[in-house]
Structure 1
Amino acid sequence: MWFKNLQLFQLNKDLELDAGQLESQLEAFKFEPCKSIETYRLGWSLPAPTASQLCHISGGAILLCLRRQEKVIPAAVVNETLKERVEELEAKENRYVGRKEKLTIKEDILSELTPRAFVRSSFTWGYIAPTENMVVIDASSSKKADEFLDLLRQTIGSLPVVPFNTEQSPSIVMTQWLQNADTRPQGLELDGQCELRSDLEEGSVIRCKQQEVDAEEILAHLETGKQVVKLALDWQERLQFILQDDLTIKRLRFGDDLLEEAKDSYADEDPMTRLDTDFTLMSLELKRFIPTLAEWLGGQSQLGQA
């Protein structure tokens, strides 16, 4: 359950949630499998097989799991069927089938195949930290994060959030970290990967992996006007991650010491016990890290705050 990505959002006013009321609200949007004619379904899922509630609370942080189930209809199957039907219709009626009619035929094919399609599920984890006025989502794309926020907003009726933002540009600060080691915060180390991009429209991109990213040949690109848009970092050997210029965190890895601490704390093999331990340690670590990240970048922006 350890998060691998971070999409961060700040609440622009206090969010008061009653645990009992929240659970009943979540129940109203509990996951149910796709019906035969549906292409996808969203809903809240139990955080562990042995869980009795849809939300799990630890240290004031509220953990939720969104399940998405969708029908899988291979594009190759649809296109082949479409081609066959168009050829058959053109031969039978001795006429050309236009684009608009092809789209109609394609929609009919999808409607026919949907009830017989295979289904697959994906899960998006996230938690609300009311005392820190934060929502933290483990999502690799903004689309998945928005899907989580949209359902949460429907569930509780209102969700006053804005994207997490800082006073200084992450790109400018990361560029400074490469150019001058003295500007790097204490305990923060470069981790052998970066991406540079020209600020010109459709500018060139330089990607570096498994090398000294502050070497002279890399710094030469910065002298020509390129800026850092992605940078791999190691914080106190407790977190390794890639920081992006939009303030998302990718490829997040928690340090071995923290993971060993979690394993040592497992009282038994019950999935709920493991979940509680992992979430407690992870959320406490991120509670330290997120304000530190904001501090590196000039502090958390007050834009959008009530």
Structure 2
Amino acid sequence: MGRRLCIYFSWSRPRELKAPLHLLDNRYPNLFEFRRAIWPFYEHASDPKEYKQDISGFLDHVILSDFAAFEEVVHSQTGNRVSLLQREGDTPPVQQLDDTLLADVDTLIVVSLDHFRTNQVASPGEVECIRSFLMRENACLIVCPHHDVGEVETIEDREVQHRHHGDILVPGQQRIGGFARSLLDQLGFPIENRWGLSPGRDVAGEPAQLLFDNNAVTASGILSGVQTFNLHPHLPHLWVPPSLNSKVAVLARQPINTVATRHPYVDDGHRDFNAFLHIKPGDERAGHIFVCDATLWSSVFGGVKSLRQLWANVANF
């Protein structure tokens, strides 16, 4: 049998579901709002007897269902089913990361789609558990935040960011990935997911070719044969503190959409953003750490052929 993978959704489902619907910011849309915004493309989910129309319906039938293709690739490559766990599901207890949970895991993918407002923070025990996990030579930790949109205070600045990515489903402020930031910071790598940038396209409307550090890509092997990622409307720049430049390799950068409206990150002269990072073994750590966007395990934003290669690489890493 091959490697054993676990996807750990670090959200608090009850707190996500209890977000007041009269507030637009820092919550997911409910399924009804989602269907209305993209009508008629999701009308198969209009029956309330089969599809809950609240936020739980969005989490289950939009977000979680998007990972099915990734699970199929991993199963075909390894012979093992992917374990799917939620930090806080519909019923207690909270499923924190611990040695028992990770005993049968070789690759842990932390999908940090938790809103900052829900205060998901890695506990000291979880950090120690991850440190222990990373002492294994075959261990691989992949930490995946998402965008951080609208962190600025003025509505005018938020509007600039919103117009840049152009996704009507996203409110003026939607800050996601708090658990990922907390975990990385406590491991000694305070990498931050910044912005929500519109990715570039090629002339055929497909995701633009990634920009690689070829030496680092060859050394790690995880991006072997991968040419593009996806076209999710708002992808984060994975900011690396300058003090960590010698420890954190930027394996791939993704071009920014050249026809999108202005954005402060682009105004500063940037034409691409950090999309895939590698923290090599060292400092009594035998395992590898990678950092990338949470949507790279989804099959609905384009670039699927190349993403399938990434998924196969991860399954066999």
Normalising by structure 1, report the TM-score.
0.23
Please identify the structure whose Cα radius of gyration is greater.
Answer: 1
- TM-score, normalisation: structure 2: 0.23
Larger strand proportion of the pair = 1
